[in-house]
């Protein structure tokens, strides 16, 4: 620190929220006695426009180079005060927030004297840290105005088209020879019962034909490097290697059907899966002559059998196929043996009712007593234990259809490693936040949509495709990304390249690389979220967190106890 410290402290009354418990003038008086504090004042409402004016004019008048505000919570007000400092010409990271409301006046509201003492302690700690703050710059990085969408199924196509319409170039990558994904193997959609081929044809034409969409069929991904705004994707396009630079990546790799080997006498002939049934219906290859009874079994391989989860769409899919078969062949008996029937939402419940009206019959079995398929005299029989009637119902079956769950594609593992994005326990890609960020990855610049994230129907896949496009368009439209200045930094002299930091970083922001001095960890500032996990894991104490350095934090701790050293005069 070459310049002399000139710290300004602003204590807020917050009306009576703080002022009604803590003796604010006394705390301000106290603050003015602290070392390096050249100005201390109290405000009725520091966050109000005149409170902010006070800060600005004090910075000018007293030539402050550090500002401490003791008021409510940084969660809501830190950005405001930082912006105020910035507006007065002071780097916004030379600002320190002390919470004397939630952590003081609110929790000690019946002990005003002790609360005042605590407020003094907290202010003293804040000032001690402020003295050690350094100005920080937010890094800015350009964003290449194009996107790579991995997977040309329905969600990938939707995302690609939307981004293209927003004015950006899109590379749509597909490992198969044709677009359409799993959807192209289906027969009809629920609940509209339109033909998949009609539905897809229009969309494939529009997507493929868009001037800003470049299609890469029969293409797989070899490598991905970079970070948000500056990704490099290496492709194997039909045997030839190609390199694409892009700003954002969307994962839309879809899912596949579980193969129910060893379950329910599955043989692919008389006991088949729903997808196999659909493929037969598509080709008009379902031989109905020999069929009198069709029995569908729900949750085959799901909800605790092979996979833990419910695959969301199997109930409606079965209902659709059952209804189609029944309506085309009223003399065939169609049964669906289910446990918890997932006909949720507005349309699905209505479609379920329509299937019942059409004559599809439903039997509910308890989860612990799943149906059993057996043969008797060469005939198939499905024993369904009827939950409500508490008795076994043996159903003759000429065709048994297993409603199996969707599972993750086998090549997702390698993609997840290339992108450094996680897979969840159910092996589907794991989004940034299950509730609030369903189509984002924790890593900036990479997004997710469709069944790659988890089983879902076509409407939701389309919705997520649009959602991912929206999220991806943000950096593209902005043209740049700014990282917060609170990142980690590595002292390469101390670093031994052990790699612990890399393994614990949730954002893939720190990695061990080869340098002239050997293997060292390096931070990509733009990816770093400043969570501190690497800093606290580093066994060599080689990593410091900007704005939360060990020195700053220790000074803060010491100030809690050692008073004399910090009080001047």
User: What is the distance between the alpha carbons of residues 466 and 464, in angstroms, rounded to a whole number?
Assistant: 5
Question: Which helix (DSSP H) or strand (DSSP E) does residue 443 occupy?
Answer: none
Q: Does 144 bind other proteins (CB under 8 A)?
A: no
Question: Site for other proteins (CB under 8 A): how many residues?
Answer: 88
Q: Does 331 bind other proteins (CB under 8 A)?
A: no
CB of 358 to other proteins, least distance (A): 9
Q: Does 471 bind other proteins (CB under 8 A)?
A: yes
* Nearer of residues 283 and 435 to other proteins, judged by Cβ: 435
Where b means 16+ CB within 10 Å and e means fewer, 28-48 reads bebbeebebbbbbbbbebbbe
* Nearer of residues 27 and 64 to other proteins, judged by Cβ: 27
User: What is the distance between the alpha carbons of residues 442 and 338, in angstroms, rounded to a whole number?
Assistant: 37
Q: Does 155 bind other proteins (CB under 8 A)?
A: no
Of the candidate residues 1, 390, 539, 561, the single one contacting other proteins (CB under 8 A): 390
* Nearer of residues 313 and 523 to other proteins, judged by Cβ: 313
Whether the CB-CB separation of 488 and 506 falls below 8 Å is answered with no
- Among the listed residues 323, 182, 272, 380, the one whose alpha carbon sits nearest the alpha carbon of residue 280: 272
- Contacts of 536 by beta carbon, 8 Å cutoff, 6+ apart: none
* Nearer of residues 475 and 525 to other proteins, judged by Cβ: 475
CB of 422 to other proteins, least distance (A): 14
End-to-end CA distance of the chain: 21
Of the candidate residues 26, 139, 288, 341, the single one contacting other proteins (CB under 8 A): 341
- Contacts of 218 by beta carbon, 8 Å cutoff, 6+ apart: 174, 175, 176, 177, 237, 238
The dihedrals phi and psi of 55, each to the nearest 5 degrees, come to -60, -50
Question: Which helix (DSSP H) or strand (DSSP E) does residue 67 occupy?
Answer: strand 66-71
- Contacts of 289 by beta carbon, 8 Å cutoff, 6+ apart: none
Q: Does 129 bind other proteins (CB under 8 A)?
A: no
Q: Where are the beta strands (DSSP E) in 139-205?
A: 140-142, 146-150, 169-173
Any idea of the CA torsion for 360, 364, 365, 366, to the nearest 10 degrees?
160
CB of 448 to other proteins, least distance (A): 10
How many Cβ atoms sit within 10 Å of the Cβ of residue 433?
10
Q: Does 149 bind other proteins (CB under 8 A)?
A: no
Of the candidate residues 369, 372, 427, 437, the single one contacting other proteins (CB under 8 A): 437
CA distances for 568 relative to 8, 27, 35, 311, 564, angstroms: 15, 16, 5, 67, 8
Q: Does 482 bind other proteins (CB under 8 A)?
A: no
* Nearer of residues 213 and 566 to other proteins, judged by Cβ: 213
DSSP letter string, 515-541: ETTEEEEEE-TTT-----HHHHH-TT-
Of the candidate residues 35, 356, 427, 522, the single one contacting other proteins (CB under 8 A): 356
Q: Does 350 bind other proteins (CB under 8 A)?
A: yes
Of the candidate residues 113, 197, 349, 517, the single one contacting other proteins (CB under 8 A): 349
Question: Which helix (DSSP H) or strand (DSSP E) does residue 259 occupy?
Answer: none
CB of 390 to other proteins, least distance (A): 5
* Nearer of residues 177 and 435 to other proteins, judged by Cβ: 435
Q: Does 359 bind other proteins (CB under 8 A)?
A: yes
Q: Does 47 bind other proteins (CB under 8 A)?
A: yes
Q: Does 413 bind other proteins (CB under 8 A)?
A: no
Q: Does 553 bind other proteins (CB under 8 A)?
A: no
Of the candidate residues 79, 268, 518, 532, the single one contacting other proteins (CB under 8 A): 79
Of the candidate residues 109, 114, 389, 553, the single one contacting other proteins (CB under 8 A): 389
CB of 416 to other proteins, least distance (A): 17
CB of 138 to other proteins, least distance (A): 16
Q: Does 252 bind other proteins (CB under 8 A)?
A: no
**What residues between 169 and 228 interact with other proteins by CB under 8 A?**
189, 191-192, 199, 202-203, 206-207
The dihedrals phi and psi of 334, each to the nearest 5 degrees, come to -120, 125
Q: Which of the ranges 244-252, 272-280, 341-349, 510-518 carries the binding residues for other proteins, by CB under 8 A?
A: 341-349
Question: Which helix (DSSP H) or strand (DSSP E) does residue 363 occupy?
Answer: strand 361-364
User: What is the distance between the alpha carbons of residues 250 and 505, in angstroms, rounded to a whole number?
Assistant: 21
Q: Does 166 bind other proteins (CB under 8 A)?
A: yes
Q: Does 388 bind other proteins (CB under 8 A)?
A: yes
Q: Does 480 bind other proteins (CB under 8 A)?
A: no
**Burial (CB count <10 Å: 0-12, 13-18, 19+), residue 167:** exposed
Q: Which of the ranges 112-120, 283-291, 426-434, 552-560 carries the binding residues for other proteins, by CB under 8 A?
A: 426-434
User: What is the distance between the alpha carbons of residues 372 and 303, in angstroms, rounded to a whole number?
Assistant: 16
- Among the listed residues 370, 410, 414, 407, the one whose alpha carbon sits nearest the alpha carbon of residue 392: 370
Q: Which of the ranges 47-55, 216-224, 504-512, 514-522 carries the binding residues for other proteins, by CB under 8 A?
A: 47-55
CB of 51 to other proteins, least distance (A): 8
* Nearer of residues 339 and 487 to other proteins, judged by Cβ: 339
Tokens of 562: 């050692």
Of the candidate residues 214, 259, 383, 387, the single one contacting other proteins (CB under 8 A): 387
Question: Which helix (DSSP H) or strand (DSSP E) does residue 6 occupy?
Answer: none
Q: Does 312 bind other proteins (CB under 8 A)?
A: yes
């Amino acid at each position: 620190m070459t310049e002399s410290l000139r710290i300004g402290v602003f204590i807020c009354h917050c009306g009576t929220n703080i002022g009604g418990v803590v003796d604010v003038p006394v705390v301000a008086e106290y603050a003015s006695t602290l070392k390096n504090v050249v100005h201390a004042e109290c405000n009725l409402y520091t966050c109000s426009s005149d409170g902010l004016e006070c800060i600005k004019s004090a910075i000018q008048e007293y030539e402050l180079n550090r500002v401490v505000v003791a008021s409510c919570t940084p969660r809501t007000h830190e950005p405001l005060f930082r912006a105020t400092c910035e507006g007065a010409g002071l780097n916004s990271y030379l600002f320190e927030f002390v919470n004397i409301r939630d952590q003081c006046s609110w929790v000690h509201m019946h002990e005003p004297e002790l609360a005042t003492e605590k407020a003094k302690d907290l202010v003293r700690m804040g000032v001690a840290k402020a003295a050690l703050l350094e100005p920080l710059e937010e890094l800015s990085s350009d964003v290449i105005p194009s996107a790579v969408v991995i997977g040309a199924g329905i969600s990938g196509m939707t995302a690609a088209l939307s981004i293209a319409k927003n004015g950006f170039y899109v590379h749509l990558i597909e490992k198969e020879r044709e677009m359409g994904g799993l959807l192209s193997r289906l027969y009809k959609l629920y609940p509209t019962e339109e033909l998949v081929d009609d539905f897809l044809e229009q969309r494939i034409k529009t997507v493929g034909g868009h001037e800003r969409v470049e299609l890469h069929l029969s293409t797989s991904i070899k490598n991905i490097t970079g970070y948000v705004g500056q990704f490099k994707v290496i492709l194997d396009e039909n045997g030839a290697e190609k390199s694409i630079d892009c700003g954002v990546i969307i994962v839309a790799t879809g899912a596949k059907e579980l193969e129910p080997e060893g379950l329910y006498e599955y043989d692919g002939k008389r006991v088949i899966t729903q997808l196999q049934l659909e493929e037969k219906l598509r080709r008009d290859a379902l031989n109905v002559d020999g069929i009198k009874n069709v029995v569908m079994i729900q949750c085959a391989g799901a909800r605790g059998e092979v996979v833990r989860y419910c695959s969301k769409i199997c109930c409606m899919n079965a209902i659709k196929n059952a209804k189609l078969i029944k309506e085309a062949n009223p003399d065939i008996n169609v049964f669906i043996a289910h446990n918890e029937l997932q006909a949720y939402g507005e349309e699905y419940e209505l479609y379920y009712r329509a299937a019942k009206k059409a004559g599809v019959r439903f039997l509910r079995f308890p989860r612990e007593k799943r149906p059993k398929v057996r043969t008797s005299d060469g005939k198939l029989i499905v024993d369904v234990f009827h939950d409500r009637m508490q008795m076994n119902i043996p159903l003759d079956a000429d065709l048994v259809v297993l409603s199996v769950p969707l599972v993750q594609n086998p090549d997702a593992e390698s993609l997840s490693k290339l992108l450094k994005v996680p897979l969840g326990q159910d092996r589907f890609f794991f989004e940034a936040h299950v509730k609030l960020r369903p189509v984002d990855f924790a890593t900036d610049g990479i997004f997710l949509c469709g069944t790659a994230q988890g089983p879902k129907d076509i409407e939701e896949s389309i919705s997520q495709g649009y959602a991912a496009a929206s999220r991806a368009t943000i950096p593209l439209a902005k043209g740049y990304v700014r990282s917060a200045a609170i990142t980690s930094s590595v002292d390469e002299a101390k670093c031994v390249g052990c790699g612990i930091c890399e393994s614990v970083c949730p954002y893939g922001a720190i990695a061990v690389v080869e340098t002239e001095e050997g293997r060292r960890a390096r931070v990509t500032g733009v990816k770093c979220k400043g969570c501190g996990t690497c800093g606290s894991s580093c066994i060599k104490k080689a990593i410091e967190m900007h704005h939360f350095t060990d020195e700053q934090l220790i000074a803060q701790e010491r100030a809690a106890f050692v008073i004399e050293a910090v009080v001047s005069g």
